[in-house]
Structures are given as C-alpha cells and as structure tokens.
Amino acid sequence: MSISRRELLRSLLHTTGSLAVGGSVLGALPAGRAGARLLAQVPPPAPETLSIAGTREPSVPNVEMEPYRIDFPPAAIEDLHRRIDATRWPEMPFETGWESGTNDAVLRELVAYWRNDYDWFAVQERLNQRTHLRGPIEGEQLHCVVYEGEGADAPGRFPLLLLHGWPGSFHEFDAAAPRLAAGQGGAPGFDLVVPSLPGFAFSEAPRERGMNPTRIAERLHLLMGELGFERYGVQGGDWGSIIATQMARLHPEALVGLHLNFVASAPAPPDGVEPSAEEVAYRAARARFQGAETGYSSIQGTRPQSLAYAQNDSPVGLLAWILEKYWAWSDHGDDLWETFSRDDILTTVMLYWLPGRVLSSARIYYETSNPIPGTAIGGRVEVPTGYARFPAEPWGPPREVVERTYNLVHYSEPERGGHFPALERTMAWAEDVARFFGGLRA
C-alpha cells in the first residue's frame, strides 16, 4: 500500500511541532558566526516511515524534506551586540533626512532598540511555532515554511506558493499566510508553501554560478513536486514576481494561476498605438525613480562581493542598507513605524545576518545581469494572471502595459500600500490573493 507525498506532508504538518520540541539535536549547520547553530535537525524517521519522495520502500527511510527548527545560541547574539557597541558611526555635520541615504536619526534610534529591547530568542521561539522543512533540491538545501489550510478536503483545492524578494524573506508573509490558510470570505483555506529563495535565510548558498530567476523557478517547481503538488498557484512580489513569471513560462501546465503585486517588464505599445496619458505618466515617474533610487541595484548587479565584506562584518551597515529600501519603496507618512513594526524590520535583517546570507542573496542581481548563455527565457505568459497595483509600488505599471505580457484576468487597485504589501496592508493583500485564486478554484 502506498501513500502520496501530500498525505505524508499532512502527517508532517501534524507532527512537526512535537518533533521540533522533543527531538534531539543531531548536528549543526554553518551559521554566520563561528559556532552558531543555524538549524537543528529532528531525529530521522524510523525505517518504516513512509517517504515524502514517493511510495514506501520497506525498511528504507527515504525522507528528503525534513522538519527543522531555528536554533541560534546566545553566543550569536552576544557577538551581534559586541559589533553594535563597536560601531564607528560616520560624521553627520548637518541634517540630511533621507535625501542622500538612510536617515541617521531614524537609524540610531532603531539601532538602540535593536541593542537594548529587541528579543531575538522570543522571535526565534515564535518562528519555530511554524512548520519548517528543509531538504536537498538539485543537491542543495532548500528551506520552506508550510501551512495546512482549513477545509482541507474541499473540492478543487490547490496549494499556493508565496515568493519573497530582496530585501525580503519568508517572514514577510508571517502575518498574511495564516489568513490565507484560514480562508477568506467563507471560502476554504489554501495549503501554503513559503520558501526561502536559494541563498536567502536558511536555504543553502548556491555552490556555483548561474542561480538566476530562471534556474530558481525550476528549483521551486521541483520543490513543489517534492512536496507532492502537481498543480498549484504562485504569488510573488519583487524577485518573487520575476521568478513566478519564469515558472509560468517554464511550467504553464502546473500553474493554476499567477498573482503579482510587482511587474518588472513594461513593453512599449505596439507600432501605431499611442500610449495613454496614464502610461506616459508612469514611464516618466519610473525614469525618475530609476535615476534616483536604484544605485543599490547597479552595485549588487556588478560588484556585490566588494560591498558584502562590509555588510557581513557590520550589522549596523547591513541594517542601514536595508532600512532605506523600506522607506523608499513603501506607503507611509513622516513616521515609518506607522507602517512597519520595528520588530518586523529587525527580524528581516536578522534573517540575513545570523545565517550569513548577505552576499549569497545579493548575487541574484549579479546572476540576472550576467546570465549564463541559454538560461534566460522570455515570451508572453498565458497562465491566468491577477495583478494588484498598489499605489506606492515603484514597479507598478498600469493595466494596459501588464496586458502586453500577461493573460490578465484579474486587476485591482488597492487604496494604500507599496512594495511590501503583505507587511504594509496585510488584510488587503490577503483578500486580493484569495479573491483571485478563489475565482479560479470555483
């Protein structure tokens, strides 16, 4: 008698909590700080345990994706605090606000909070309440968080893959994912898979050149197959949107639908068609943004390694680099903390700092700017696509532009929100995602 991967995954979902609490530590994985344990494996399944990778082979364990828990020791935080205390702050002889980079006053206040009030171990404990899995995909360890939706036996049910970008992480969906799993508007919830992209957080740093969006798309499709999902939906913003688009091009037969809150491509109108006033305004705004706000992309797309030495050594330097993006790309007033919580920003930074993923995450820009020949694909996307155009998203072209690349069947314009809508406007984002995929499911 065989068991499906999905049935075994459901079994893991119901047992991971007890395993993570009660399991012994079998070994340690490399962390950013010497001696820091990144993740501790729970004991391997008994020989009779059924495989997540297929049917049972008697007396031969064959589990690929295994439960994990986050487990950094106090020494990792002591080292962080030592480095914060030793920060050599640049001289600021006059007030510059945000116009030439990170606001010094805002950064200093946040660093003081980080040093004295932010409690990583409370965050770590809370994150470990989720179901974390990690295992080899194409020979490199890939991490994901999985959620089982309510109403699991509802007809037409399918899972959703939620994809972050840079400087995001799986934590970006920590508030929104449970809402989708619980169901919106009386509809059944979705099973959710929230991976860390290769080279981010607890996914292994790629061991060779070429981990661009097309290759990541293939790896994530393999992950979904490993978890037993042959048909699924994908949602993405930032790099997640670009990767999701490549998944739709590579495996349209597997994707039920594609939902985006970021669109990178903005093809010109066909010959003989004049752009609308809205498109003209968007292109002008995008050009201004590109000139003033995308120096980070040029650096990470050409010389990410040079910058990484400084950021991997200085937590304040890393925070300054990332914090400015949350200011520049989000929908907020004068006070950034009316939109984000300090803990959310700091937890995001910690997921780069503690596992030492500064360089490996930034390399996605380099690999995209310098693709290995034959690894970049384009073309129109015929998978049914939904698009939520949040007003403060810098990469938010109007509907007519998006329709030139995508089979757009759902379009919305939320009243507020920017580049990080799952954090900024959690309810609005979750409702739009559920509405789109719920319509496809119906």
Which of left, alpha, beta for 395 (phi over 0: left; psi -120 to 50: alpha)? Answer: beta
Catalytic residue at 419? yes
pLDDT at 151: 72
**pLDDT exceeds 50 at position 42:** no
pLDDT digits (tens, 9 = 90+) for 208-260: 999 999 999 999 999 999 999 999 999 999 999 999 999 999 999 999 999 99
**pLDDT value of residue 398:** 97
The first and second tokens of residue 60, run together, are 């031969």
Q: Mean pLDDT over all residues of the chain?
A: 87
Q: How far apart are CA 190 and CA 142, in angstroms?
A: 22
Q: What mean pLDDT do residues 264-273 have?
A: 91
The encoded tokens of residue 144 equal 């994901």
pLDDT of residue 150: 85
Question: Which pLDDT score, from 0 to 100, does residue 211 have?
Answer: 97
Active-site entry in 352, 365, 387, 406: 365
Question: Of 34-48, 114-128, 336-350, 416-430, which gets the smallest average pLDDT?
Answer: 34-48
What proportion of the chain, given as a percentage, has pLDDT over 90?
79
Marked catalytic residue, from 143, 164, 251, 419: 419
Mean predicted confidence (pLDDT) in 143-169:
87
In the predicted model, is pLDDT for residue 298 greater than 80? yes
Taking residues 375-380, report their average pLDDT.
87
221 is catalytic: no
Cβ 10 vs Cβ 231: under 8 Å: no
Q: What's the confidence (pLDDT) of residue 13?
A: 60
Q: Which of 39-53, 69-83, 212-226, 314-328 has the lowest mean pLDDT?
A: 39-53
What is the pLDDT, as a whole number, of residue 158?
81
pLDDT for the residue 374: 80
**What confidence score (pLDDT) does residue 153 get?**
63
| The two structure tokens encoding residue 93 | 């002889």
In which band, very low, low, confident or very high, does the pLDDT at 275 lie, cut at 50, 70 and 90?
A: very high
Residue 184 pLDDT: 81
Residue type, 74: P
Tokens linked to 380: 């129109």
The per-residue pLDDT for range 362-377, each reduced to its tens digit, is: 999 999 999 988 877 8
Q: Coil, helix or strand for 14?
A: helix
CB 65 within 8 A of CB 391: no
What's residue 375's pLDDT?
78
Q: Which of 71, 174, 191, 238 is catalytic?
A: 238
Q: What was the pLDDT predicted at 186?
A: 73
| Burial of 181 (C-beta count, 10 Å sphere; 0-12/13-18/19+) | buried
Q: Are 402 and 408 in contact (CB under 8 A)?
A: yes
Cis amide leading into 206 (omega within 30): no
Going by C-alpha positions, the residue among 176, 143, 175, 111 that lies closest to residue 351 is 143
Position 31 scores a pLDDT of 34
pLDDT at 353 over 50: yes
Q: Tell me, what's the pLDDT at 7?
A: 60
* pTM for the model: 0.88
Q: What is the DSSP string of 345-412?
A: HHHHHHHHHTTT-HHHHHHHHHHHHSPPTT------EEEEEEEE--TT-TT---HHHHTTTEEEEEEE
pLDDT at 358 over 80: yes
Rounded average pLDDT over 81-104: 95
Is 147 among the catalytic positions? Answer: no
Q: 49 falls in which pLDDT band (50, 70, 90)?
A: very low
Range with lowest mean pLDDT among 44-53, 87-96, 354-363: 44-53
Instruction: Tell me the per-residue pLDDT of 280-290, one tens digit each, with 9 for 90 and over.
Output: 999 999 999 99
Mean pLDDT, residues 168-188 taken together: 91
| pLDDT at site 32 | 34
Average pLDDT over residues 120-143: 97
What number is the average pLDDT over the span 5-18? Answer: 54
pLDDT at 108: 98
Could you write out the DSSP letters of every residue in 75-143? HHHHHHHHHHHT--PPP--S--TTTTSS-HHHHHHHHHHHHHT--HHHHHHHHTTSEEEEEEETTEEEE
The secondary element (H helix, E strand) that includes residue 276 is none
Which SS3 state, helix, strand or coil, does residue 234 take? strand
